[in-house]
Amino acid sequence: MAESHNTKNEGNDHVQLTAQCLCKAHSFTATVPRTALPLQACACHCTSCRHMLGAMYSTDTLWPGDPAVIRHCSTLKTYRFSDRLQVLFCSTCSSPLFWDFPAGARDGHDGKAAEPAGADKSQYGVFTGALLSSIKNPGPGPLIELAEHIVLDDTMDGGLSPILRRPNDTVHAKRQPATRWAGRQLLSKEIPEGEDHWPEPPAADWRNSEVREIPLWCHCRGVNLVYRCQEAYREHAAMDADKLPDTVDPLTRKTVVETDACTFCRTSCGTDFMHWTFSALRHLRYAHEDAKTHQQHQKDPEASTAGAFSLPATLLDLYAAVTAPREDRDPRLGTLAVYCSSEGRKRYFCSNCSACVFFASDANHDVIHVAMGLLDSPDGARAEGSFGWLLGGRVQEKDDIKGTWRETWLDSHETESEAWRKARKFPEWWKIMGWG
């Protein structure tokens, strides 16, 4: 394992990249000649990537470092994602670091293996969210260009591609827009500028939504839960506006979705921007009833199911349940594990496939951040029938990403989402919600 001691730009001819997990147990460096810049990244919006990371898409670029260093690192955990792809992640903090794919196969995440992952000729793609922000853009353009969006048909609504069309533009230079593909690049229909072929999302008013519950699962299904969206709407609709939680839009009574580009979130999900929604634990449930109720149902199909699907009621109870000894654990918690990323902050993830599931702050009693990428809503990846996306406005302070490709992408994310907000006649949510 290569330890990073130097994260500065290397001389004039080369720059050094560092991929590092959240707990810092894993750190890999690579040196890239400036002539090879910018690196090209691909954003995959496929259902599998969203459920494997918990993010709205995955972004990776070919790792320019020595593949043998990764191949011989025995402490990275491996998840077999498909016939030909593996994901390598940290088993302590769950940060995904690398895709492992057979040579020449980096063209989408589906299909049959020509040669299995893990073979000697493996190449590696690095999740761009795992790269340290210490490398500045080398010139007028970003160090990493987000070149294409792929497998957009899986999203049904375009996912977040409408706000990352020109992610590489800077105040100094207009770049090529990112290309967009219905499926894999070059093997599917390219979606030209202005020709979005997915339907407009359903009405903004939740009362028109027929979605009562939304499955919430990770790629391996070791985490298998359900978000009870209609239960949440009903509760919020009945409340006085001044009593609503600050995570609920007072106009639509929908729970909001926020964009987070902080170091902790992007490292733990492997994608430069994480998107979270919020839920009280009572609005989540297990996909299956508990064993005792199941037995009662065998004898009496009419037996009460009250509480039979309930998660632990508070964040303290959830933490105790997840960290309980195996023999005391509710088997329905499945592969859910937890990592304390800092004092009072807990990140729940799938220990098998690495997916980010929840983020919890000890300051809250029973409200938890929920990874949007895990929701499987019938109206599309953004699930706009049930959630209010906070489009436009400022995402966050950009001090720790100043001068990096992340700042370039985030600037575009903000500019394009503000334009999209106006085009769709959404109000200025930050004024309504008093967020600044």
**Residues at the site binding Zn ion, with contacts judged by CB under 5 A:** 21, 23, 25, 44, 46, 49, 90, 92-93, 109, 218, 220, 222, 350, 352-353
* Rounded-to-integer distance, Cα 285 and Cα 399, Å: 38
Residue 350 CB, shortest distance to Zn ion, in Å, is 3
* DSSP symbols for 78-141: EEE-SSS-EEEE-TTT--EEEEEE-TT--S-S-S--SS-TTSTT-EEEEEGGGB-TTSPPSSSS
What is the DSSP secondary-structure string of 106-118? -S-S-S--SS-TT
Amino acid at 265: C
Using the CB atoms, write b or e for 390-412: b if 16+ within 10 Å.
bbbbebeebeebeebbbbbbbbb
Rounded least distance, CB 35 to Zn ion, Å: 30
Which residue lies nearer to Zn ion by CB, 353 or 381?
353
- CB closer to Zn ion out of 93 and 337: 93
Give the nearest distance from C-beta 57 to Zn ion in angstroms.
8
Exposure letters 233-258 (e unless 16+ CB within 10 A, then b): bebbeeeeeeebeebbbbebbbbbbb
Shortest approach of Zn ion to residue 129 CB, angstroms? Answer: 13
- State the nearest-atom distance from the C-beta of 43 to Zn ion, in Å: 9
Please give the radius of gyration of the chain, using alpha carbons only, rounded to the nearest integer: 22
> Which ranges constitute the DSSP H helices of 308-398?
315-322
Are 265 and 359 contacting, i.e. CB atoms less than 8 angstroms apart? yes
Q: Which is nearer to Zn ion, 98 or 206 (CB)?
A: 98
Cβ proximity to Zn ion, 277 vs 354, nearer residue: 354
d(CA 190, CA 184): 9
CB of 96 to Zn ion, least distance (A): 10
What minimum distance in Å lies between the beta carbon of 288 and Zn ion? 16
Q: How far is the CB of 97 from Zn ion (least distance, A)?
A: 9
Task: Considering the complex, state which of residue 58 and residue 230 has its C-beta at the smaller distance from Zn ion.
Answer: 58
**Cβ–Cβ < 8 Å for 41, 150:** no
Residue 356 parent element (H or E): strand 356-361
Under a CB-based contact definition with an 8 Å cutoff, are residues 2 and 29 in contact?
Answer: yes
Burial class (CB in 10 A: 0-12, 13-18, 19+), 19: buried
CB of 357 to Zn ion, least distance (A): 9
Residue 322 carries which side chain, given as an amino acid letter? V
**C-beta of 93 vs 281, nearer to Zn ion:** 93
Judged by beta carbon, residue 49 or residue 143, the one nearer Zn ion is 49
C-beta of 97 vs 256, nearer to Zn ion? 97
Tell me whether residue 46 or residue 160 sits nearer to Zn ion (CB atom). Answer: 46
Cα–Cα–Cα angle for 90, 317, 213, rounded to 5 degrees: 80
Instruction: Name the minimum Å distance from CB 365 to Zn ion.
Output: 27
| Residue 181 or 387 with smaller CB distance to Zn ion | 181
As beta bridge partners, residue 148 has: 42, 179
How far apart CA 433 and CA 436 sit, in angstroms, is 8
Tokens in use for 302?
């009419």
